[in-house]
Chains A and B, each alone.
Chain A
Amino acid sequence: MIASLSLILLCQLAGEVFVRGLALPMPGPVVGLVLLLLLLLARDRFAVLALGPLQGGGVENASRGLLAHLSLLFVPAGVGVVQRLDLIAAHGIAIVIVLLVSVVVTLLATVATFLFASRLLARGRSAR
Chain B
Amino acid sequence: MSENPFSLWVYLSQSPLLWLTVTLLTYAVADAVSLATHRHALANPVFHSMWIIGAFLLLTGTSYTTYFEGAQFVHFLLGPATVALAVPLYENRKAALAAILPMLAALAVGSATAIGSVVLLAEAAGLPRTVVLSLAPKSVTAAVAMGISESLHADPSLTAVAVILTGIMGAMIVTPLMNRLGTRDLRARGFAVGIAAHGIGTARAFQVDAVAGVFASIAMSLNALVTSLLVPLAATLLAR
* Interchain CA distance A59-B86 in the complex, whole Å: 10
A118 touches B206 (CB 8 A): no
Given A80-B160, A81-B164, A84-B161, A71–B135 Cβ distance below 8 Å?
A: no
Which A residues lie within 8 Å of B9 (CB)? none
Q: Does B11 contact A (CB under 8 A)?
A: no
Q: Most chain-B CB neighbours within 10 Å: which of A15, A63, A72, A115?
A: A72
Which B residues lie within 8 Å of A100 (CB)? 169
Which B residues lie within 8 Å of A91 (CB)? 127-128, 131
* Interchain CA distance A70-B78 in the complex, whole Å: 8
Contact with A along B169-189 (1 / 0, CB 8 A): 110011001100101010111
CB distance from A97 to the nearest CB of B (A): 8
A27 touches B72 (CB 8 A): no
Given A62-B84, A76-B72, A117-B102, A95–B162 Cβ distance below 8 Å?
A: yes
B80 touches A9 (CB 8 A): yes
Which B residues lie within 8 Å of A95 (CB)? 122, 127, 131, 135, 162
Pick from B53, B74, B181, B207: contact of A111, CB below 8 A.
B181
Residue of A nearest to B194 (CB): A110
A-B contact count (CB 8 A): 307
A103 touches B196 (CB 8 A): yes
Pick from A71, A76, A103, A107: contact of B31, CB below 8 A.
A71
Q: How large is the interface on B (under 10, 10 to 19, 20 to 34, 35 or more residues)?
A: 35 or more
* Interchain CA distance A74-B157 in the complex, whole Å: 16
Pick from A5, A85, A114: contact of B106, CB below 8 A.
A114
Pick from A33, A70, A114: contact of B191, CB below 8 A.
A114
* Interchain CA distance A115-B78 in the complex, whole Å: 31
Q: Does B197 contact A (CB under 8 A)?
A: yes
* Interchain CA distance A81-B98 in the complex, whole Å: 39
Q: How large is the interface on A (under 10, 10 to 19, 20 to 34, 35 or more residues)?
A: 35 or more
Interface of A is mostly: helix
A111 touches B127 (CB 8 A): no
* Interchain CA distance A116-B191 in the complex, whole Å: 14
A64 touches B102 (CB 8 A): no
B185 touches A98 (CB 8 A): no
Q: Most chain-B CB neighbours within 10 Å: which of A11, A33, A108?
A: A33
A79 touches B53 (CB 8 A): yes
* The 5 A-B residue pairs with the shortest CB-CB distance in the complex, in nearest-first order: A82-B54, A78-B50, A110-B110, A63-B84, A29-B82
Interface residues of B (CB under 8 A from A): 23-24, 26-27, 31, 44-47, 49-51, 53-55, 57-58, 64, 67-68, 71-72, 74-75, 77-91, 93, 99, 101-103, 105-106, 108-110, 113-114, 117-118, 121-122, 125-128, 131, 135, 138-139, 141-144, 147-148, 155, 157-158, 160-162, 164-170, 173-174, 177-178, 181, 183, 185, 187-189, 191-193, 195-197, 199-200, 202-204, 206-207, 217, 219, 221, 224-225, 228-229
Interface residues of A (CB under 8 A from B): 5, 8-9, 11-12, 15, 25-30, 32-37, 40-41, 59-60, 62-64, 66-67, 69-85, 87-88, 91, 94-111, 113-118, 121
A-B contact pairs, 16 of them (CB 8 A): A12-B83, A25-B228, A29-B82, A32-B82, A60-B87, A67-B88, A73-B74, A73-B81, A78-B168, A87-B155, A88-B165, A95-B127, A103-B173, A110-B196, A111-B106, A117-B101
